[in-house]
């Protein structure tokens, strides 16, 4: 019996010791945890507590402006009004929405979306129910304020394009941030923030958008703002100065009118692009505000493709403008010399196929100068047959065809300069002789952009220098807060103002390297281009500029987009105005001026516009004349030094 009592006592003592040890361990762990939280992690939890009390909200920066070379504003920021609704300040949200709907034009779908937005927010958090209000709408809301409980007006910025559609393809537009754009930058997550979606706005988005500021707000336990306790101002985005001259840009757009096409003007020495017009155009302000479904359907369904920048992305056969490259190739390769002549009976036969000249009765015997001036197809059939596509392609590429120039605008296309190897690799067929002939007059597989045609012309006019086009005259400059009102037709350079850095507009840059062409051969091609306009038999004689020291040289081009049957040739070839728009010829013109001292090159392409001499050359004449007049005005009143 005594033994049993001793065993029970030992077991009880052992269990009590184990229990006491366990309690000691738990108490020690708890003490250690409290020490860890209250001593070692004190700073961290203090910060977390502060973050619960202090709310940091970002301040959106003002987007940088974009101006042309004379300070004409192309993209700016405009004061914008939006309507906010705070649910806790109205006894009935539905009644408030019903009252304001007719004032700002809310439809049922929008009202349902607003209700959903309000349901996801706390009652004291304002919800935007409309943006970009006119001053008249704001005034109406203020007048009816007693009947609109919970409604308030918020003032902010919106992106604004004063020139509307004249430079839309260059500038692009801004639009709301999408899920695919979120990269961890908290600025992109702020309500209503917009980023560049196309053009310069997209290429220079990070520079233009600036840096966000912040507001430090004290909030209570429920998240309501008590007071602002600190602020760091945002940093405005950097400004951009483009090489564009909006007077020329506007005139080019006016001359193109409702046609589909492009005009490019560039300085043949510096490469600065003065005009990069594409038509038809669009209103980028609608994208900034939010394009409606019907507006987008109208733009995307238009057969003349208003959203495509045809100056850099429109790929067209160069037609007879390509004869400049063929002529230079023939001279450089020794296949012809300037006095070489061929007889044009109106066609050339190759095998059992006949290749026609545009002039039905032919041009008779013509030399190079006359062949360029009168755009004789047979002369260039003969020359192309002797050269072959590979030698023509080599010269064309040296002149800038078939390549991209990284002009700071997304979407540039390379065109195509075919070769024998290209056709075998891509199409899987061998090159045939007839393809040399059609390439010799700029058709067949050849594709070029208006920008490339301007570069080709500039390199011929500047003595064979490898000039490269550029559109940004100065990036990351700070222009004055308020620019003076600028008349885009008044040639006053932005550098005339002392409040703008002198390097805001570049002075031409380094001399471009030589392409290695013989100056005598370049001169022979230029003489042909002069005769195109100066001679009564030249294809652009009626588009000459009748002002001393403003003479222009050039080359017309007309590109067939349909095959003319022999039956039609035997009866009567239909005129362009008798054909549907899509079956009409493309009209082209390239040129430079002034003749005696070339400074500027121009290219004009009018899609399905008809003949180059009747449709494209007159546009080039008017734009080049204004270009030269403005150049003369600047020369008479040069930029002040110092």
188 & 267 share domain: no
Lowest mean pLDDT among 55-64, 128-137, 403-412, 498-507: 498-507
> CB count, 10 Å around CB of 412?
19
Summarised one tens digit per residue, pLDDT across range 547-572 is 988 999 999 999 987 777 666 666 66
The reported pLDDT for the residue numbered 484 is 58
Q: Between 308 and 31, name the one with better pLDDT.
A: 308
In a domain, 604, yes or no: yes
Q: Between 190 and 448, name the one with better pLDDT.
A: 448
The reported pLDDT for the residue numbered 120 is 67
Structural domains counted in the chain: 2
In a domain, 518, yes or no: yes
383 three-class SS: helix
Residues 240-250, mean pLDDT to the nearest whole number: 95
Q: Which of 217, 240, 263 is the last residue of a domain?
A: 240
Residue 140: CATH number of its domain: 3.90.1310.10
Residue of 274, 276, 284 lying closest to 309 (CA atoms): 276
The reported pLDDT for the residue numbered 113 is 81
Does 189 score more than 60 pLDDT?
A: yes
Does an H or E element contain 413, and which? Answer: none
In a domain, 500, yes or no: no
The reported pLDDT for the residue numbered 98 is 87
The reported pLDDT for the residue numbered 482 is 67
In a domain, 566, yes or no: yes
The reported pLDDT for the residue numbered 416 is 97
Does an H or E element contain 526, and which? Answer: helix 519-534
404 & 263 share domain: yes
235 & 264 share domain: no
Confidence bin at 536 (pLDDT 50/70/90) = very high
Domain of residue 536: give its range: 246-292+311-476+512-636
63 & 167 share domain: yes
114 & 178 share domain: yes
Does 221 score more than 70 pLDDT?
A: no
Long-range contacts at 116-123 (CB < 8 A, ≥ 24 apart)? 118/85, 118/87, 118/93, 121/87, 122/222, 122/223, 123/86, 123/87, 123/88
597 & 469 share domain: yes
Lowest mean pLDDT among 32-46, 374-388, 410-424: 32-46
Confidence bin at 7 (pLDDT 50/70/90) = low
Does 537 score more than 90 pLDDT?
A: yes
Does 628 score more than 70 pLDDT?
A: yes
348 & 455 share domain: yes
Residue 397: CATH number of its domain: 3.40.710.10
Confidence bin at 350 (pLDDT 50/70/90) = very high
The reported pLDDT for the residue numbered 187 is 78
Q: Between 211 and 570, name the one with better pLDDT.
A: 211
Does an H or E element contain 447, and which? Answer: none
350 & 451 share domain: yes
The reported pLDDT for the residue numbered 105 is 83
In a domain, 378, yes or no: yes
**What count of residues does the chain have?**
642
266 & 163 share domain: no
Q: What percent of the chain has pLDDT over 90?
A: 52
Summarised one tens digit per residue, pLDDT across range 468-505 is 999 998 776 667 766 655 544 443 344 444 444 444 44
106 & 217 share domain: yes
Residue of 226, 86, 88, 62 lying closest to 154 (CA atoms): 86
551: Cβ contacts below 8 Å, ≥ 6 apart: 530, 533, 534, 544, 545, 593, 594, 595, 596
Residues 148-175, mean pLDDT to the nearest whole number: 87
Range from 167-176, 266-275, 565-574 that averages highest in pLDDT: 266-275
Confidence bin at 320 (pLDDT 50/70/90) = very high
The reported pLDDT for the residue numbered 345 is 97
d(CA 640, CA 130): 49
Please name every residue paired with 353 in a beta bridge, in sequence order, or none if there are none.
350
In a domain, 423, yes or no: yes
* Sign of the dihedral through C-alpha 613, 586, 267, 518: negative
The reported pLDDT for the residue numbered 2 is 56
Confidence bin at 506 (pLDDT 50/70/90) = very low
In the sheet with 213-219, reading across from the earlier edge strand, the strands are 54-59, 213-219, 225-232
Q: Which of 221, 240, 259 is the last residue of a domain?
A: 240
76 & 193 share domain: yes
Residues 611-635, mean pLDDT to the nearest whole number: 93
Does 399 score more than 90 pLDDT?
A: yes
Summarised one tens digit per residue, pLDDT across range 380-395 is 999 999 999 999 999 9
280 & 216 share domain: no
Summarised one tens digit per residue, pLDDT across range 91-119 is 888 888 888 888 888 888 888 888 887 78
Confidence bin at 125 (pLDDT 50/70/90) = low
Range from 223-232, 499-508, 602-611 that averages highest in pLDDT: 602-611
Does an H or E element contain 109, and which? Answer: helix 108-119
Average pLDDT over the chain reads 85
In a domain, 32, yes or no: no
The reported pLDDT for the residue numbered 369 is 97
Does 20 score more than 80 pLDDT?
A: no
Lowest mean pLDDT among 104-108, 246-250, 421-425: 104-108
In a domain, 286, yes or no: yes
């Amino acid at each position: 019996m005594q033994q049993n009592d001793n065993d029970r006592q030992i077991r009880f003592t052992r269990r009590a010791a184990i229990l006491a040890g366990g309690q000691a361990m738990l108490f020690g762990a708890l003490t250690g945890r409290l020490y860890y939280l209250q001593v070692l992690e004190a700073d961290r939890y203090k910060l977390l507590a502060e973050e619960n009390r202090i709310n940091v909200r970002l301040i959106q920066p003002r987007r940088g402006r974009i101006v042309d070379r004379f300070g004409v504003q192309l993209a700016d920021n405009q004061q914008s009004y939006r309507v906010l609704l705070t649910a806790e300040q109205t006894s009935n949200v539905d009644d408030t929405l019903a009252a304001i709907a007719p004032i700002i034009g809310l439809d049922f779908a929008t009202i349902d979306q607003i209700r959903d937005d309000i349901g996801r927010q706390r009652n004291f958090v304002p919800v935007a129910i409309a943006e970009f209000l006119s001053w008249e709408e704001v005034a109406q809301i203020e007048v009816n304020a007693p009947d609109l409980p919970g409604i308030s007006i918020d003032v902010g910025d919106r992106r604004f394009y004063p020139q509307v559609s004249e430079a839309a393809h260059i500038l692009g537009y801004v639009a709301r941030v999408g899920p695919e754009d979120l990269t961890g930058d908290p600025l992109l997550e702020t309500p209503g923030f917009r980023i560049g979606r196309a053009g310069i706005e997209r290429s220079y988005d990070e520079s233009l958008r600036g840096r966000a500021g912040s507001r430090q707000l004290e909030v209570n336990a429920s998240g309501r703002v008590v007071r602002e306790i600190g602020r760091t101002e945002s940093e405005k985005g950097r400004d951009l100065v483009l090489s564009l001259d909006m007077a020329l840009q506007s005139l080019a757009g006016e001359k193109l009118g409702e046609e589909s096409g492009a005009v490019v003007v560039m300085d043949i020495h510096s490469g600065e692009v003065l005009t990069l017009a594409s038509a038809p155009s669009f209103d980028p302000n609608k994208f900034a505000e939010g394009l409606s479904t019907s507006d987008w359907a109208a733009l995307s369904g238009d057969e003349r493709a208003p959203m495509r920048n045809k100056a850099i992305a429109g790929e067209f056969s160069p037609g007879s403008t390509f004869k400049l490259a063929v002529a230079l190739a023939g001279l450089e390769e020794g296949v012809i010399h300037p006095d070489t002549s061929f007889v044009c009976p109106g066609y050339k036969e190759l095998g059992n196929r006949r290749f026609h000249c545009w002039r039905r009765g032919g041009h008779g015997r013509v030399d190079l100068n006359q062949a360029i001036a009168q755009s004789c197809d047979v002369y260039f059939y003969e020359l192309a047959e002797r050269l072959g596509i590979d030698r023509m392609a080599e010269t064309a590429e040296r002149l800038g065809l078939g390549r991209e120039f990284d002009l700071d605008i997304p979407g540039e296309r390379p065109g195509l300069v075919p070769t024998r190897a290209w056709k075998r690799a891509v199409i899987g067929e061998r090159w045939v002789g007839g393809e040399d002939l059609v390439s010799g007059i700029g058709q067949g597989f050849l594709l070029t952009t208006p920008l490339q045609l301007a570069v080709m012309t500039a390199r011929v006019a500047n003595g064979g220098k490898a000039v490269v086009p550029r559109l940004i005259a100065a990036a990351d400059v700070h222009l004055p807060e308020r620019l003076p009102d600028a008349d885009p037709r008044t040639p006053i350079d932005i550098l005339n103002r002392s409040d703008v850095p002198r390097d805001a507009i570049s002075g031409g840059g380094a001399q471009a390297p030589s392409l290695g062409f013989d100056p005598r051969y370049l001169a022979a091609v230029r003489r042909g281009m002069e005769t195109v306009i100066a001679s009564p038999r030249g294809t652009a004689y009626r588009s000459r500029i009748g002002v001393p020291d403003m003479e222009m040289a050039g080359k017309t081009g007309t590109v067939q987009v349909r095959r003319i049957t022999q039956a039609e040739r035997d009866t009567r070839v239909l005129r362009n105005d008798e054909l549907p728009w899509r079956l009409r010829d493309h009209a082209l013109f390239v040129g430079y001026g002034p003749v005696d001292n070339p400074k500027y090159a121009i290219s004009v392409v009018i899609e399905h516009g008809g003949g180059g001499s009747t449709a494209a050359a007159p546009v080039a004449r008017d734009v080049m004349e204004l270009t030269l007049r403005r150049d003369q005005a600047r020369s008479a009143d040069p930029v002040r030094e110092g």
